[in-house]
């Protein structure tokens, strides 16, 4: 009896793990993400870009980088990612990182490979 209960519980746990929604996946598809990203521009402050994306349903992200530049990756519903590259702004007094980066480029990535480059405008 104990073996049967263990098997049933193990099956239910395995099923839950296999079919669980990835918590970093946004409910936005690739085509929609491209249209959202086209509203951004080169040099847009990171906080402003994040606000535009959040208002469009892109809230879950992974951020990777260093003081000189970093990327935000938003998992999309089709398994790809919207990636945004930022550069840091120098402070006028000591030329160190100021905090809120500036947008450089946007693209769609799949398994670490850039598959779609998204054109950004050069001015707000």
Domains of the chain: which residue ranges? Answer: 23-118
Q: Which two tokens mark 29?
A: 């598809």
User: What confidence score (pLDDT) does residue 5 get?
Assistant: 67
For 105, the token pair is: 């480029």
pLDDT in tens, 80-119: 999 999 998 766 665 555 567 899 999 999 988 999 999 9
Which helix (H) or strand (E) element contains residue 10? helix 2-19
Residue 28 in 3-state DSSP? coil
pLDDT, residue 17, reads: 45
99, 40, 105, 103: CA torsion to nearest 10: -10
For range 66-70, the mean pLDDT: 80
pTM of the full structure: 0.75
pLDDT in tens, 5-55: 676 666 555 554 444 445 568 999 999 999 999 999 999 999 999 999 999
For the segment 106-116, what is each residue's pLDDT rounded down to a tens digit? 999 998 899 99
SS3 content of the chain, % helix, strand, coil (to 5): 30, 30, 40
Fold annotation for 23-118: Beta-lactamase Inhibitory Protein; Chain:B, domain 1 (3.30.1450)
């Amino acid at each position: 009896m104990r073996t049967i209960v263990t098997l049933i519980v193990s099956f239910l746990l395995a099923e839950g793990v296999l079919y669980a929604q990835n918590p970093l996946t946004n409910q936005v598809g690739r085509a929609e993400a491209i249209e959202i990203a086209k509203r951004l521009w080169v040099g847009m402050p990171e906080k402003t870009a994040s606000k535009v994306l959040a208002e469009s349903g892109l809230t879950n992200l992974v951020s990777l980088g260093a003081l000189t530049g970093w990327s935000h990756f938003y998992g999309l519903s089709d398994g790809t990612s919207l990636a945004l590259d930022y550069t840091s702004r120098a402070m006028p007094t000591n030329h160190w990182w100021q905090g809120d980066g500036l947008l450089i480029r946007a693209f769609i990535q799949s398994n670490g490979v850039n598959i779609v480059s998204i054109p950004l405008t050069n001015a707000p």
